[in-house]
Amino acid sequence: MRIYQHWLNEAKQIPSPNFDDRPNADDISLLVIHCISLPPGEFDNTCIDKLFCNQLNPDDHPYFKEIHQLTVSSHLVIKRTGEILQYVPFDKRAWHAGQSSYEGRERCNDFSIGIELEGTETVPYTDAQYLELAAVVKTLLNTYPSLSTEWITGHSDIAPGRKTDPGESFDWEKFYCMLGK
Protein backbone atom coordinates (compact mmCIF):
# COMPACT_ATOMS: atom_id res chain seq x y z
CA MET A 1 0.00 0.00 0.00
CA ARG A 2 1.07 3.56 -0.63
CA ILE A 3 0.02 6.98 0.58
CA TYR A 4 0.24 9.93 -1.80
CA GLN A 5 -0.56 13.45 -0.58
CA HIS A 6 -2.16 11.91 2.52
CA TRP A 7 -4.56 9.72 0.53
CA LEU A 8 -4.27 5.94 0.50
CA ASN A 9 -3.84 4.85 -3.14
CA GLU A 10 -5.81 1.64 -2.59
CA ALA A 11 -8.84 3.39 -1.12
CA LYS A 12 -11.89 4.62 -2.95
CA GLN A 13 -12.04 8.36 -2.27
CA ILE A 14 -15.34 9.81 -1.07
CA PRO A 15 -14.45 13.33 0.13
CA SER A 16 -16.32 14.45 3.24
CA PRO A 17 -16.78 18.07 4.27
CA ASN A 18 -16.51 17.05 7.94
CA PHE A 19 -12.90 17.91 8.69
CA ASP A 20 -10.64 20.89 9.29
CA ASP A 21 -6.96 21.64 9.85
CA ARG A 22 -5.12 20.01 12.72
CA PRO A 23 -3.68 22.44 15.30
CA ASN A 24 -0.27 20.87 14.56
CA ALA A 25 -0.16 19.22 11.14
CA ASP A 26 2.90 17.16 12.13
CA ASP A 27 1.23 15.65 15.21
CA ILE A 28 -0.37 12.46 13.95
CA SER A 29 0.35 10.15 16.86
CA LEU A 30 -2.77 8.06 17.61
CA LEU A 31 -4.83 5.50 15.68
CA VAL A 32 -8.42 5.03 16.83
CA ILE A 33 -10.37 1.92 15.81
CA HIS A 34 -14.16 2.34 15.59
CA CYS A 35 -17.08 0.37 14.24
CA ILE A 36 -20.16 1.57 12.42
CA SER A 37 -23.22 0.15 10.71
CA LEU A 38 -26.17 2.06 9.32
CA PRO A 39 -28.92 1.36 10.01
CA PRO A 40 -27.60 -0.38 13.14
CA GLY A 41 -26.73 -3.99 12.35
CA GLU A 42 -27.10 -3.57 8.58
CA PHE A 43 -24.15 -3.81 6.21
CA ASP A 44 -23.19 -3.34 2.56
CA ASN A 45 -25.04 -0.16 1.66
CA THR A 46 -24.15 3.51 1.11
CA CYS A 47 -25.63 4.88 4.35
CA ILE A 48 -22.22 5.45 5.99
CA ASP A 49 -21.10 7.43 2.93
CA LYS A 50 -24.25 9.52 3.14
CA LEU A 51 -23.76 10.19 6.87
CA PHE A 52 -20.11 11.21 6.41
CA CYS A 53 -21.04 13.46 3.47
CA ASN A 54 -24.05 15.10 5.19
CA GLN A 55 -26.50 13.48 2.76
CA LEU A 56 -28.35 11.06 5.03
CA ASN A 57 -32.11 11.28 4.44
CA PRO A 58 -34.01 11.21 7.75
CA ASP A 59 -37.00 9.61 6.00
CA ASP A 60 -35.04 6.55 4.83
CA HIS A 61 -35.02 4.86 8.27
CA PRO A 62 -36.43 5.76 11.70
CA TYR A 63 -32.92 5.76 13.23
CA PHE A 64 -31.75 8.35 10.71
CA LYS A 65 -34.13 10.93 12.21
CA GLU A 66 -31.84 10.90 15.30
CA ILE A 67 -28.53 11.21 13.46
CA HIS A 68 -29.02 12.86 10.06
CA GLN A 69 -27.85 16.27 11.32
CA LEU A 70 -24.54 14.99 12.72
CA THR A 71 -21.42 16.36 11.06
CA VAL A 72 -19.00 13.46 11.50
CA SER A 73 -16.47 11.50 9.50
CA SER A 74 -13.58 9.16 10.04
CA HIS A 75 -10.56 9.06 7.79
CA LEU A 76 -11.26 5.51 6.60
CA VAL A 77 -13.95 2.85 6.56
CA ILE A 78 -13.07 -0.78 5.94
CA LYS A 79 -16.13 -2.61 4.63
CA ARG A 80 -16.85 -6.25 5.52
CA THR A 81 -15.53 -7.26 2.07
CA GLY A 82 -12.21 -5.54 2.82
CA GLU A 83 -12.94 -2.60 0.51
CA ILE A 84 -11.34 0.59 1.86
CA LEU A 85 -13.06 3.96 1.61
CA GLN A 86 -11.29 7.22 2.48
CA TYR A 87 -13.22 10.37 3.38
CA VAL A 88 -10.58 12.71 4.80
CA PRO A 89 -6.85 13.03 4.01
CA PHE A 90 -4.66 11.87 6.89
CA ASP A 91 -3.06 15.27 7.44
CA LYS A 92 -6.47 16.82 8.24
CA ARG A 93 -8.54 16.52 11.42
CA ALA A 94 -11.52 14.24 10.77
CA TRP A 95 -14.42 14.54 13.19
CA HIS A 96 -14.57 10.96 14.49
CA ALA A 97 -13.71 10.89 18.19
CA GLY A 98 -15.91 13.55 19.76
CA GLN A 99 -15.16 14.44 23.37
CA SER A 100 -12.16 12.26 24.12
CA SER A 101 -8.91 11.81 26.00
CA TYR A 102 -5.93 9.45 25.66
CA GLU A 103 -2.92 9.24 27.98
CA GLY A 104 -3.80 12.63 29.42
CA ARG A 105 -4.25 14.34 26.04
CA GLU A 106 -7.67 15.83 25.37
CA ARG A 107 -9.34 16.29 21.96
CA CYS A 108 -8.09 13.15 20.24
CA ASN A 109 -9.29 14.34 16.82
CA ASP A 110 -6.43 16.86 16.92
CA PHE A 111 -3.75 14.16 16.75
CA SER A 112 -5.42 10.94 15.59
CA ILE A 113 -6.45 9.00 12.53
CA GLY A 114 -9.88 7.37 12.79
CA ILE A 115 -10.52 4.01 11.14
CA GLU A 116 -14.06 2.60 11.09
CA LEU A 117 -14.74 -1.08 10.58
CA GLU A 118 -18.15 -1.82 9.11
CA GLY A 119 -19.69 -3.88 11.87
CA THR A 120 -21.09 -3.91 15.37
CA GLU A 121 -19.68 -4.47 18.83
CA THR A 122 -21.15 -8.00 18.92
CA VAL A 123 -20.79 -9.37 15.36
CA PRO A 124 -17.32 -10.76 14.54
CA TYR A 125 -15.34 -8.75 12.01
CA THR A 126 -14.30 -10.51 8.80
CA ASP A 127 -10.88 -11.87 7.96
CA ALA A 128 -10.81 -9.47 4.99
CA GLN A 129 -11.25 -6.55 7.40
CA TYR A 130 -8.40 -7.70 9.65
CA LEU A 131 -6.10 -8.22 6.65
CA GLU A 132 -6.81 -4.76 5.25
CA LEU A 133 -6.69 -3.09 8.66
CA ALA A 134 -3.27 -4.61 9.36
CA ALA A 135 -2.00 -3.54 5.92
CA VAL A 136 -3.35 0.00 6.35
CA VAL A 137 -1.89 0.34 9.85
CA LYS A 138 1.52 -0.90 8.71
CA THR A 139 1.46 1.68 5.92
CA LEU A 140 0.44 4.45 8.34
CA LEU A 141 3.18 3.43 10.80
CA ASN A 142 5.75 3.61 7.99
CA THR A 143 4.46 6.98 6.73
CA TYR A 144 3.84 8.99 9.89
CA PRO A 145 6.84 8.84 12.26
CA SER A 146 4.90 9.89 15.38
CA LEU A 147 2.65 6.81 15.16
CA SER A 148 3.50 3.62 17.05
CA THR A 149 1.83 0.33 17.88
CA GLU A 150 1.64 1.50 21.50
CA TRP A 151 -0.69 4.32 20.44
CA ILE A 152 -3.45 2.28 18.78
CA THR A 153 -6.68 2.18 20.72
CA GLY A 154 -10.43 1.72 20.51
CA HIS A 155 -13.03 4.45 20.56
CA SER A 156 -14.25 2.99 23.86
CA ASP A 157 -10.84 3.69 25.41
CA ILE A 158 -10.78 7.38 24.51
CA ALA A 159 -14.45 7.99 25.34
CA PRO A 160 -15.24 5.52 28.15
CA GLY A 161 -18.84 5.48 29.29
CA ARG A 162 -19.87 7.23 26.08
CA LYS A 163 -18.66 4.80 23.40
CA THR A 164 -18.30 1.01 23.30
CA ASP A 165 -16.74 0.39 19.89
CA PRO A 166 -15.06 -1.51 18.40
CA GLY A 167 -16.47 -3.78 21.12
CA GLU A 168 -16.02 -7.31 22.32
CA SER A 169 -16.16 -8.62 18.76
CA PHE A 170 -12.82 -6.99 17.89
CA ASP A 171 -9.95 -9.44 18.39
CA TRP A 172 -7.07 -7.23 19.54
CA GLU A 173 -4.73 -10.24 19.92
CA LYS A 174 -5.36 -11.34 16.32
CA PHE A 175 -4.88 -7.78 15.08
CA TYR A 176 -1.58 -7.26 16.93
CA CYS A 177 -0.35 -10.66 15.77
CA MET A 178 -1.03 -9.58 12.17
CA LEU A 179 1.02 -6.45 12.84
CA GLY A 180 3.90 -8.64 14.01
CA LYS A 181 3.69 -7.41 17.57
Would you list the DSSP string of 29-68?
Answer: -EEEEEEE-SSTT--SSSHHHHHHTT---TTS-TTHHHHT
The model's pTM is: 0.97
Q: Express each pLDDT in 1-23 by its tens digit.
A: 999 999 999 999 999 999 999 99
> Looking at residue 73, what DSSP letter applies?
-
Q: Express each pLDDT in 128-140 by its tens digit.
A: 999 999 999 999 9
Q: What does the pLDDT profile of the chain (181 residues) look like in tens digits?
A: 999 999 999 999 999 999 999 999 899 999 999 999 999 999 999 999 999 999 999 999 999 999 999 999 999 999 999 999 999 999 999 999 999 999 999 999 999 999 999 999 999 999 999 999 999 999 999 999 999 999 999 999 999 999 999 999 999 999 999 998 7
Q: Domain 3-179: which topology?
A: Lysozyme-like (3.40.80)
Q: Which residues are catalytic?
A: 116
Q: What is the C-alpha separation between 81 and 169, in angstroms, rounded?
A: 17
Q: Could you state, in order of their start, the residue ranges of all structural domains in the chain?
A: 3-179
Q: What is the C-alpha separation between 73 and 164, in angstroms, rounded?
A: 17
